[in-house]
Amino acid sequence: MAYPLQLGFQDATSPVMEELLHFHDHTLMIIFLISSLVLYIIMLTLTSKLIHTNMMNVQEMEMIWTILPAIILILIALPSLHTLYMMDEINNPLLTIKTMGHQWFWSYEYTDYEDLAFDSYMITTDSLKFGELRLLEVDNRMVLPTDLPVRVLVSSEDVLHSWAIPSLGLKTDAIPGRLNQVTLTSMRPGLFYGQCSEICGANHSFMPIVLELVPLKYFESWSTSLA
């Protein structure tokens, strides 16, 4: 999760988030090079007398400043499309979770099990235990196995919500009457926090998401105890 005064992204937990971080670094380097070049040209323009008349009509220069931006756009578009298709791809999910947004809590239903569903409410400040995080802890965590493709179906029963977990690179709108889906695969166990990322009313800030990722054998024990 994020920590105070953090300037960068959270550590990646899924292959999709790793690709997003790589694309961010790739694009940021291109922006840095373009900004340096523009700053150099501006400084050169301000410090010179602009008496080089041979630069007023140079076809080679016009070709360069037309072709070079096109090449830069291609260098940005190719990895962007790769990451975009990777985010939308769903390869035979082994587990499906239906997530419903409410004002102001989440409900989860494990559709592969007969009676495994629960609501997830934020724990109030006066009920927190030592070491728990204010405005981020819930009474019922969403538990999933690691290293397995999981499909999450997201919708809403009242207003617009958004189910988002930054460390997994997930952000999906919960829209009433519409079913959106997203796939996730975690590479390591742990607790991962998120929040509703769509302004949904007075208590928008009080519907956190806690995802607990555990090895498969522990997930089977947990699901058996609740089902």
Domain that holds residue 113: 95-226
Q: Are 72 and 100 in a shared domain?
A: no
Residues 155 and 101 in one domain: yes
- Do 105 and 41 lie in one domain? The reply is no
Which strand (E) or helix (H) includes residue 105?
strand 105-110
The token duo for 149 is 């493709």
Under 8 Å between Cβ of 189 and 105: no
Q: Radius of gyration (Cα) for the chain, nearest Å?
A: 24
pLDDT by 10s per residue, the chain, length 227: 677 888 888 888 888 899 999 999 999 999 999 999 999 988 887 887 766 656 666 677 788 888 999 999 999 999 999 888 888 877 788 899 999 999 889 999 998 888 889 999 999 888 888 888 888 999 999 999 998 899 999 999 989 999 999 999 889 999 999 999 998 888 889 999 999 988 888 888 899 999 999 999 999 888 888 76
Cα–Cα distance for residue pair 141/58, rounded to 1 Å: 65
76 with 142, same domain?
A: no
Query: What pLDDT, on the 0 to 100 scale, is given for residue 198?
Result: 87
Could you give the number of structural domains in the chain?
2
Q: Do the strands 95-102 and 150-156 form a parallel or antiparallel pair, or are they unpaired?
A: parallel
Could you tell me if 17 and 8 are in contact, meaning their C-beta atoms sit under 8 angstroms apart? no
Domain containing residue 159: CATH number: 2.60.40.420
Do both 22 and 71 map to the same domain? Answer: yes
Q: What is the pTM of this model?
A: 0.81
Is there a domain that residue 41 lies in? yes
Are 24 and 126 members of one domain?
no
